[in-house]
Amino acid sequence: MLKNEKRKAPLLNFAALAALFALLVLLMESGVVSMYVRGIIVQCFYVIIMVTSLNLTMGFLGQLTLGHAGFMAVGAYTSALVAKALLQANILTVGPGSDILLFLICMPAGALMAALFGILVGIPALRLRGDYLAIITLGFGEIIRVLIQNLKFAGSKGLAQGQAGQALIGIPVMNNVYVLFWIASLCVVVMFSFVRSKYGRTIMAIREDDIAASSVGLNNTYYKVFTFTISAMFAGIAGAIFAFRGLGTLSQNDFSFLKSTDYVIMVVLGGMGSLTGSVVAAIVLSVLPELLRAAEQYRMLVYSVVLILVMIFRPAGLLGVYEFSIRKWLPRLFDKKEEVPKA
């Protein structure tokens, strides 16, 4: 009985996603969604990927990282530059449909490059126990930003000019919310399966007790670097979405330290160790500032107060380690009598 239900779970999850998608289509096609709202929806998608991927490192690996926007920058610039190169070489042209193709070619490039940087940062930082990762990623985020500021091919005037960095312009646009919906969903599903897998349990064991973990024969460094790399890779995907979001420009200011801390705040608010919490926090904290545009100058103030309140009243984050599960919810909705088996 229970086994049978478990086998149905992927189907059920897919049905739920399809229902969400139908809702999105309905919204988009009904014409109530303006260009402005569309931009916010796209923002939700890349922020969701950023926050869930950061949660892999913070919540599941238990390591603080302060340069997640740096990996996003690597993914954004790589995918944008590859796209520009492809267009310049006339391998692809911008036209209906081909923008999606172009994006699907450039996004993996950004993801791969971000993953590569993840390995480079992770290997020295994660061999050690303790908070070295936070310090190293803090440095990494700033180095990437300053590097971009001074790289000629990234749109800047170059090192010798000594001028402030300029934006990279002329990036093609791919803001098809339907495609992005499935990309974001796929990312979240992959991360979900990752934390539910043997790998996920292994990294949680290392987080719980690294000496015990190595005493059962686990190569801690390998698993830590692997997870961190996955996390960086997804940040690269988020970066690609960001680069193609529609403005056509990228600037190093989009990936400042403050952005990194924004994502950290979202992870903490949603609950370290809850991907559901990350998705909720990402959506709420993307939409909320837009609703509160009038009070924008108080945003950081409100954030700090909210964060302090959450830390006092819900120290594990809003959702703690809770994960939403359709399989457990459906019986409750339709048949109140059927008892939900306790996990």
Partner 1 sequence: MLSIKNLHIHYGAIHAIKGISITVNDGEMVSLIGANGAGKTTILHAVTGLKTATSGEIRYDQYNLRTVEPSRIISLGMAHVPEGRRVFQRMTVAENLDMGAITFKDKARVETNREKVYARFPRLKERARQIAGTLSGGEQQMLATGRALMTDPRVLLMDEPSMGLSPILVKEIFGIIRTLHAAGITILLVEQNARMALSIADRAYVLETGAISMQGKASDLLRDDRVRRAYLGA
* Residue 289: closest CA among 31, 6, 39: 39
Q: Is 198 in the site for partner 1 (CB under 8 A)?
A: yes
**Exposure string for 275-298, b = 16+ CB within 10 A, e = fewer:** bbbbbbbbbebbbebeeeeeeeee
In the complex, the smallest distance separating the C-beta of residue 209 from partner 1, rounded to whole angstroms, is 5
In the complex, the smallest distance separating the C-beta of residue 271 from partner 1, rounded to whole angstroms, is 14
The residue within the footprint of partner 1, chosen from 98, 170, 209, 311 (CB under 8 A), is 209
- Scanning the structure block, which residue is given the tokens 């100058």? 297
Q: Is 161 in the site for partner 1 (CB under 8 A)?
A: no
Residues in contact with 253: Cβ distance below 8 Å, sequence separation at least 6, in sequence order: none
* Percent of the chain as helix, strand, coil, to the nearest 5: 75, 0, 25
Residues 212-241 vs partner 1: string with x where CB under 8 A? xxxxxxxx----------------------
Q: Is 131 in the site for partner 1 (CB under 8 A)?
A: no
What string of H, E and C letters represents the secondary structure of 325-342?
CHHHHHHHHHCCCCCCCC
Dihedral of the CA atoms 29, 34, 40, 46 (nearest 10)?
40
In the complex, the smallest distance separating the C-beta of residue 57 from partner 1, rounded to whole angstroms, is 18
Minimum CB distance to partner 1 smaller for 198 or for 337: 198
The residue within the footprint of partner 1, chosen from 2, 160, 211, 312 (CB under 8 A), is 211
Total number of residues that touch partner 1 (CB under 8 A): 16
Minimum CB distance to partner 1 smaller for 201 or for 299: 201
- Helices 275-291 and 257-270, axial angle in degrees (round to 10): 120
In the complex, the smallest distance separating the C-beta of residue 267 from partner 1, rounded to whole angstroms, is 18
Q: Is 341 in the site for partner 1 (CB under 8 A)?
A: no
Residues in contact with 262: Cβ distance below 8 Å, sequence separation at least 6, in sequence order: 285
Q: What number of other Cβ atoms are within 10 A of residue 138's Cβ?
A: 18
Minimum CB distance to partner 1 smaller for 190 or for 212: 212
Q: Is 316 in the site for partner 1 (CB under 8 A)?
A: no
Q: Is 136 in the site for partner 1 (CB under 8 A)?
A: no
Which residues face 168 on adjacent strands? 250
Q: Is 197 in the site for partner 1 (CB under 8 A)?
A: no
Minimum CB distance to partner 1 smaller for 173 or for 321: 321
Q: Is 274 in the site for partner 1 (CB under 8 A)?
A: no
Give the 3-state secondary structure of residue 262: helix
Q: Is 204 in the site for partner 1 (CB under 8 A)?
A: yes
Spatial separation of the C-alpha atoms in residues 17 and 36, rounded to whole Å: 24
Provide DSSP, 197-219.
Answer: SHHHHHHHHHHH-HHHHHHTT--
Q: What number of other Cβ atoms are within 10 A of residue 22's Cβ?
A: 10
**Choices 114-122, 173-181, 208-216, 247-255; region in contact with partner 1 by CB under 8 A:** 208-216
Spatial separation of the C-alpha atoms in residues 273 and 56, rounded to whole Å: 8
- Scanning the structure block, which residue is given the tokens 């993914």? 75
Q: Is 1 in the site for partner 1 (CB under 8 A)?
A: no
The answer to whether 257 and 66 have CB atoms below 8 angstroms apart is yes
Q: Is 333 in the site for partner 1 (CB under 8 A)?
A: no
Question: For residue 294, what are its two tokens?
Answer: 């009038």
Minimum CB distance to partner 1 smaller for 90 or for 215: 215
Give the amino acid at 170: G
Minimum CB distance to partner 1 smaller for 13 or for 221: 221
Q: Is 208 in the site for partner 1 (CB under 8 A)?
A: yes
Q: Is 336 in the site for partner 1 (CB under 8 A)?
A: no
**Choices 205-213, 233-241, 248-256, 307-315; region in contact with partner 1 by CB under 8 A:** 205-213
Q: Which residues bind partner 1 (CB under 8 A)?
A: 198, 201-202, 204-205, 208-209, 211-219
